[in-house]
Amino acid sequence: MLEPLTLTSIPQHAESLRPAVREFVKGYTSKVPLDERARSWMGFDADFSRQLAKRGWVGVTLPKQYGGAGLDAYSRFVLIEELLGNSTPVAAHWIADRQSGPLILKYGTDQQKDFYLPRICRAEAFFCIGMSEPQSGSDLASVRTRATRTSNGWSLNGQKIWTTNAHRSHYMIALVRTSGTSEDRHKGLSQMIVDLSAPGVTIRQIRDLTGDAHFNEVFFQDVELGEDALVGTEGSGWEQVTAELAFERSGPERFYSAIALFDLWLDYLREHHSADAWARELAGRIVSHLVTLRAMSVAVTEQLAQGESPVLAAALVKDLGTELEQFIPHAISEELGRHPGHAVPGGLWRALSYVTQICPTYSLRGGTREILRGMIARGLGLR
Amino acid sequence: MDPVLYDSFDRLLSDISTPPVIREIESSGSADALEQQIKESGFADAMVAEDAGGAGLSLGEAFSLFFLCGRHALPLTLAPTIIARAVLARQGVNVPEGGVAISNIPVGHRDNKIECRNVPHGKLVQWVIVPHAGVADAPVDLLLPVDKAERVETGVNASLQVHLSWTDPRSVGVIVEGAYPWLEVAAAVTAAQMAGAMDSVLNMTVRYAGERSQFGRPIAKFQAVQQQLSVLAELATASRVAAELGCQAAADGTPNVLAAAVAKARASEAAGTVVSIAHAVHAAMGITEEYDLQLYTRRLIEWRTDYGSAGYWNRRVGDAVLSSDAPCTMEYMLPTYFPGSASD
């Protein structure tokens, strides 16, 4: 059965970080209008990431010896809540900060830590995650991209797809097959760090329906990797990836993704005094869900801070959170459309259109809704 | 709260609030034996200050008791009684014997008469706190004796609710000073009981899906069923967290009324889906009188609208956010709902 989530508050040592982050964020948000910030954590701004890094706010959970801040999961929660709650563009360093850095710290060799972690903390090394392939989506264990042994390392062949920001990243951590075939499923998979500037790597952007290009196809043809490309243990890639995903599923990025749109809509209602009973109720419904999700997310953070791996609770928060993130654009669309005679400001309209178009990805990235519910069912003892 | 206290209350209710006892009380409309057992347990004074003979629990700590009342479908008004006894004792009102219900806002104020519809557990209580009793254009909170009330049955099978009205209520009742947010707290306490009932509904439904076989295997093995049960688990978990948040109070005991609004809104919104999934998985068995699921789902259906449904409380939450001038929702939300967070 599922363990209950217990209400927890963020400890004071983590809260003490909040005022400085908020002050820094105001320096950015005062210059960039909210509707341009609707991309939330898909917004890519390397300069913004480097400014954060200068203040020590990239890789905050990494140890100080590697340039990190040595802070805990709660401090990172506060930091990213301020960044996402104000819809700042964090995509450039996001993956390295959330996943790749902690992964290298946990499984990497001393040389890997010495090389990559300081670069991550300085926002000089941006990472992407190479998981999906043309024939491997939710069925991740079927990946075919293969690294084979050479005299002095590995040779990589295959293809990844839907790799977010590969074209703007320096490195990919790829899940690849190092032995066996796709019939061997979870066995024989390993994680490799790939330098995306290496010969034999081809990156092709995929434009999306909003006009952006964040997805990529990445091709590997006889890419030479050194011995030190392997992260962790050969053949343990699946276990490592699974542990990594728990970090990916329960944070504030699972309920603040559409917050810029919600903020713009509230501002519009306030300015025009146009909130009828239906709109007031809708605004309240969204806040009620946000408040609940935030309390749940903090409760999961407590489990992470205790060193647990709350895979089920994280899946639960992500499924509920992305449901809200997808509800927000559709409900606001409906609300604005109830008054065809009212002029919707251009910024609100663009943000609404963007979020409505892109929001199907919210419940794809990090595990689809169906996969997450399957995990919860397993936790309930049903499978 | 103290796990020992939690476990002892959980065990007590397992022993005394059993399905046969619940059915007997629902059919007879009286609960003397169960009331006596609860009285002897002392839990009614859980929130009364220790120096006044109680256990001194805060509202937040008492959340777990309310949750357990719902999980065991306790057919008594214990949760509101715990609140009422603590508030009345603190205000120096002589705390009466017997169960205390909290009514919704009265519907009629004509001819110096007030009417409270669907008083929760109204058939079993001796006292009702009536918030916002607008007699003679002066809204006050009144503590009214049920033996002076005119009773009208709701006609709903097995329901313990009843309509109560009083003529010249001030002459028979006591004014409760202090402007305690009775409605909001009653809503939060109801949300806590709903979360408890959802927990039982989840457990029963998961168990049933593992036992019932069709097409040669337990229905729990079908993905379509698994996905529905996962949603049920999500909603039960969210409702529980929201309800616990809704039972938070400041150090001086002042409840966070907007958090209470969120709690009732979230649990009430979830209740419809929770009930639907549980009954769908149980199929026809679930709607029989004999099977225990109905003890919980009937309560969830009543509790969903008691003190206002999701829409009522969401409007309250929405009005608050719309009248805020914070630069963004996050900066509004943290000090309002999570007062431990830093704010500028």
Question: Catalytic: A239?
Answer: no
Partner residue opposite B338 with nearest CB, options A1, A9, A256: A9
Q: Would the CB atoms of B330 and A19 count as touching at under 8 Å?
A: no
Report pLDDT for B63: 98
Partner residue opposite B329 with nearest CB, options A7, A288, A290: A290
What share of chain B has pLDDT > 70, as a percent?
A: 97
What pTM was computed for the model?
0.96
- Tens digits of per-residue pLDDT, A359-377? 999 999 888 999 999 999 9
**Minimal C-alpha gap between A336 and chain B (Å):** 16
For the cut 50, the answer to whether the pLDDT of residue B318 exceeds it is: yes
Which residues on chain B are in Cβ contact (under 8 Å) with A254?
none
Q: Would the CB atoms of A275 and B310 count as touching at under 8 Å?
A: no
Q: CA-CA distances (angstroms) from residue B180 to A175, B91, B97?
A: 59, 10, 21
For the cut 50, the answer to whether the pLDDT of residue B262 exceeds it is: yes
- Residue linked to tokens 């964090």: A90
For the cut 50, the answer to whether the pLDDT of residue A172 exceeds it is: yes
Q: Would the CB atoms of B316 and A283 count as touching at under 8 Å?
A: no
The architecture in CATH of the region B182-337 reads Up-down Bundle (1.20)
Cα–Cα dist B127/A144, whole Å: 71
Q: Would the CB atoms of B333 and A291 count as touching at under 8 Å?
A: yes
Q: Would the CB atoms of A320 and B330 count as touching at under 8 Å?
A: no
Which residues on chain A are in Cβ contact (under 8 Å) with B337?
291, 294
3-state secondary structure of A38: coil
For the cut 90, the answer to whether the pLDDT of residue B77 exceeds it is: yes
- Residue linked to tokens 């309920």: A255
- Tens digits of per-residue pLDDT, A204-240? 999 999 999 999 999 999 999 999 999 999 999 999 9
Beta strand A127-130 pairing with A171-177:
parallel
- Tens digits of per-residue pLDDT, A21-60? 999 999 999 999 999 899 888 899 999 999 999 999 999 9
Q: Would the CB atoms of B338 and A296 count as touching at under 8 Å?
A: no
Domains of chain A, first to last: 12-125 (1.10.540.10), 129-237 (2.40.110.10), 250-379 (1.20.140.10)
Partner residue opposite A291 with nearest CB, options B316, B337, B341: B337
- How many interchain CB pairs under 8 A, A with B? 177
Partner residue opposite B322 with nearest CB, options A85, A269, A293: A269
Lookup: tokens for B54: 């109680």
For the cut 90, the answer to whether the pLDDT of residue A244 exceeds it is: no
Q: What is the mean pLDDT of chain A?
A: 94
Report pLDDT for B105: 85
Judged by average pLDDT, the poorest of A174-188, A199-213, B184-198 is: A174-188
Q: What is the mean pLDDT of chain B?
A: 94
For the cut 90, the answer to whether the pLDDT of residue A87 exceeds it is: yes
Cα–Cα dist B105/B113, whole Å: 13
For the cut 70, the answer to whether the pLDDT of residue B193 exceeds it is: yes
Nearest to B193 by CA among B204, B201, B182: B201
3-state secondary structure of A206: strand
- Residue linked to tokens 């970080």: A17
Lookup: tokens for B22: 């619940």
CA B307 to chain centre: 9
Residue B111 bridge partners (DSSP) = none
- Tens digits of per-residue pLDDT, A348-359? 999 999 999 999
Tell me how many degrees the CA angle B245-B258-B3 measures, rounded to the nearest 5.
Answer: 20
Lookup: tokens for B139: 């809204």
By CA distance, what is A379's nearest residue in B?
Answer: B230
Residue among A82, A133, A248, A253 flagged as catalytic: A248
Report pLDDT for A305: 85
Mapping DSSP onto H, E and C, the string for A99-148 reads HHHHHHHHHCCHHHHHHHHHHHHCCCCCEEEECCECCECCCHHHCCCEEE
Domain boundaries, chain B: 1-178, 182-337
For the cut 90, the answer to whether the pLDDT of residue B343 exceeds it is: no
Lookup: tokens for B287: 């709607």
- Tens digits of per-residue pLDDT, B109-146? 666 889 999 999 999 999 999 998 866 566 789 999 99
Cα–Cα dist A315/A179, whole Å: 30
- Tens digits of per-residue pLDDT, B84-93? 999 999 988 8
3-state secondary structure of B176: strand
Q: Would the CB atoms of A277 and B259 count as touching at under 8 Å?
A: no
For chain A, the 3-state helix, strand and coil shares in percent, each to the nearest 5, are: 55, 15, 30
